Amino acid sequence: MFKELQKCVRDRGPAPIVTWVSDVGRIELSAITFNNSISKASNFLVDGLELEEDATVSISLGNHWQSSVWLGTALTTGLTITDQDPAITFGDKSQSQIWEGSPDEFVVVSRDPFGMPDKEIPAGFVNGSAEVRNFGDFFSPRWSILPDHNAVAIDSSNFIWSHLMLRAQGLADANEIKLGQSYGLYGSSDLITTIAFQVVLPVVFGHSVVLIDQANPDLDAIKKQEKLEQIVLLG
């Protein structure tokens, strides 16, 4: 996804591609900001956590803007996103409190609207939102990502990058989302669907996604406020 993200930055620059709407705030990420966040996180994965190209990661951050960033980071870095026995799991503080694995295999990502790190996390866990701030916002790929690289591995299925793009296009067609339109996203779904709506469609197909992270949202009001063509309901 590295080349697609760079093209997105060149073409869209300050235009918003990911917006997060919650009960505690609203955050809008431009293509430039999104790329910078992914670059810092990618450098953290490679130089901080010292992950290598065969590493697997699990990212469970719901409909938060951090989900788009960390899913995008894994794809850009060239790791494999999975939901089974990953090397490293990314989740929030509440998830770390019930984590049964080794603490050093769990990276805590803050749900603060502005990404401010959690001040107190369980001992031994990696405070990802704090650590990532120590890394630069320019990322140069450390290894070549081959066309047949498994970007996502779930159950007994593997998905390469071209599979993800095809799935994303299919979901856009099924939901009647035309090229470049803005859409809202509410609810949860499987990993492939999440990646398609949160990352692939905004980066590759010119869309802008609004992640609705509220318990009881007024969808009509959000649609009007954010000037959305439609809201996709998942789950």
pLDDT of residue 235: 85
Nearest Cα neighbor of 14 from 26, 30, 28 is: 30
Say which residue, 79 or 83, is predicted with more confidence.
Answer: 79
3-class SS shares of the chain: helix, strand, coil, % to 5 = 40, 20, 40
Separation between Cα atoms, residue 98 and residue 166, nearest integer Å: 36
> What band does 14 get if pLDDT is binned at 50, 70 and 90?
very high
Enter the pTM of the model: 0.96
> Using N-to-C axis directions, what is the helix angle for 31-43 and 65-77, rounded to 10°?
60
Delineate the domains of the chain, giving CATH numbers in brackets. Answer: 2-233 (3.40.50.12780)
* Residue-level pLDDT at 84: 84
Which residues does 156 contact at the CB level (< 8 Å), separation at least 6? none
28-67 residue pLDDT tens: 999 999 999 999 999 999 999 999 999 999 999 999 999 9
Q: Is residue 135 within 8 Å of residue 40, measured between CB atoms?
A: yes
